[in-house]
Amino acid sequence: MTHTKTSYVCLPCRASYKQPYDSERQRICPRCARSLIHVGSAFAVPRRRDTAAWRTLSVLLNAGVRFHKSCCGGPGYRPRTLHEVRERMAFAERTGEPIARSLVRRELP
């Protein structure tokens, strides 16, 4: 029986690793020895030099947003630019909606 691999990310190193999922095991970055963050199997890695994409990813991960596959395919909408993140965070502050929920909204009312 094969186990599907899922992605783990180290934000300081801007590195992603595909490994079998195990909720009991703590993953460690081979570069800096910090803990890796489980991001899900539908994660697309930005280029290491793309600082804006990594900053956007950092905001998403720190808010608790992950990239798990759903029954209908991918993880759904995720903001790709800092501008989209700022818009959704301002909306969350204005309306009182949780940040994680407003970050995954495709359209803002």
- The tens digit of pLDDT for each residue in 79-103 reads 999 999 999 999 999 999 999 999 9
pLDDT in tens, 30-72: 999 999 999 998 899 999 999 999 999 999 999 999 998 866 6
In a domain, 108, yes or no: no
> With contact defined as beta carbons under 8 Å apart, do 48 and 57 qualify?
no
In a domain, 33, yes or no: yes
Name the CA radius of gyration of the chain, rounded: 15
In a domain, 109, yes or no: no
- pLDDT tops 60 at residue 104: yes
Q: From CA 3, how far away is CA 16, in angstroms rounded?
A: 18
Maximum distance among all Cα pairs of the chain, rounded to whole angstroms: 49
Q: From CA 16, how far away is CA 105, in angstroms rounded?
A: 25
In a domain, 44, yes or no: yes
In a domain, 92, yes or no: yes
The pLDDT of residue 71:
67
In a domain, 11, yes or no: yes
| pTM of structure | 0.85
Name the residue type at position 35: S
Residue-range definition of the domain harbouring residue 54: 5-103
Domain total for the chain? 1
> With contact defined as beta carbons under 8 Å apart, do 31 and 9 qualify?
no
